[in-house]
Amino acid sequence: MLDGASENATRPSAGSAGYAAAFGSVMALGLPLNAVSLWILLTRKSLKSRSVVFMVNLAVSDLMLVVALSPRVYFYAAGAWPLGDTACIWFMMLFRNNIRSSSIFITFISADRLMAVVYPLRSRHLRTASNAWKAVALVWVFVLAVNIPESVELSRFLQNSSESSCFEYLKDPPSLMRYVQPVLVLAMLAVNVASTALVSRALRTRPDDSARVKNKVNVMLIFAMNLAMFVVFFVPVSTFVFFQSEGASRTPLICLASVNCCVDPLLYYFSFDGFWKRKEDVDNSGTRES
C-alpha cells in the first residue's frame, strides 16, 4: 500500500529530476495557454457554434490535465508520495481522462468540419449547438463511467502490491478495462483519417465545395494537426502503457502525451480566421467556421 512516510516506499527512477522539470515545463506553458484560450472562447466566440462547444470542453479537459501534473512534479522532485492511494488514483484518472476526452473532442471537431464541407445540406439538422452540448455531455458521462471500475481495480492492485509507488507502479491490474483506452484512441484515429481523406478529396474534386470554404489551407492544417495529435501524443502512450507491463519505460511516453495540452491552443487559433476578434454571429451553414 502506498505510504509516503514509509522508509520502504519505492523511490522514482534516476531520471526523476528530468521528469519533474519536464512536467513542470508543460504546466508552466499549458496553464496560461489554455486559460487564455478558454477565456477567449467563452467571451469572444459564440457558444451557438458547434466547434466552439467542442473547443471549450477540450480546453477544460486540458486544464484538468495541468492540475493532474502538479502532483507528478512534486513526486519526481521529492521522491516520495505523501497523499496515499486514493489521491494517487484520482490524479491518474485525470491524466487518462484527458487522453480519452481530448481524443473524442478532437474527433468531433474533425467530424463537424467533414459535414460542413462534404455534406453541408444533409447535415444541417445535425450540426446544431444543442446536439453538440448533448454529445459532450455523453462524453463526460462515458469518461466518468469508465473511471468507476478502473479506479476500483487499481485501488485493489495498489493495496496488494508491496513494490508500488504512485506514478511508478510496475504494471496495470490484469483486466478488460486496460483495453478501453487503446481501443478508443485507435477508433478515433480511424475516424480522423477517414475525415481527412474525404475532406481533402472534396476540396480537390468538387469545385462547389472548394469555393464555399474561405481558407482551405487552414481547413487542411486543422486536419493535419488532429492527426499529428493522435500519432505523436495519444497512440504511443495508449498502446504501450496498456499492452506493456514495465512501469519505468512508460514515464517518457506519459511525459510526451502531456504536451498535447500545449498544442491544442494552436487548433483554436487556426480554426477561426479572427481568433482574437470579438464575438460574431455564426452562420448556421458552418462555412465560416470551416
| 3-state helix/strand/coil string of 103-141 | HHHHHHHHHHHHHHHHCCCCCCCCCCHHHHHHHHHHHHH
The pLDDT of residue 80 is 79
219 vs 92: CA distance, rounded Å: 34
Burial class (CB in 10 A: 0-12, 13-18, 19+), 14: exposed
Domain 16-271 top-level CATH class: mainly alpha
DSSP H helix total and E strand total for the chain: 10, 0
Q: Dihedral of CA 195/199/200/206: which sign?
A: positive
The pLDDT of residue 155 is 80
The pLDDT of residue 79 is 80
CA angle 140, 143, 149 (to 5 degrees): 140
Cα separation of the two ends of the chain: 51
**What is the grid cell recorded at 65?**
490535465
Mind listing the pLDDT tens digit of every residue in the chain (290 residues)? 444 333 334 454 546 888 899 999 999 999 999 999 999 988 888 788 888 999 999 999 999 999 999 998 988 888 878 888 888 888 888 988 999 999 999 999 999 888 888 887 777 888 888 999 999 999 999 999 998 888 888 887 777 665 556 776 545 555 667 788 899 999 999 999 999 999 888 887 765 554 455 667 778 888 999 999 999 999 998 887 656 545 556 788 889 999 999 999 988 887 765 544 555 444 443 434 44
* DSSP E strand stretches across the chain: none
Residue that has been written with the C-alpha cell 472548394 in this structure: 210
How many beta carbons lie within 10 A of that of residue 56, not counting itself? 21
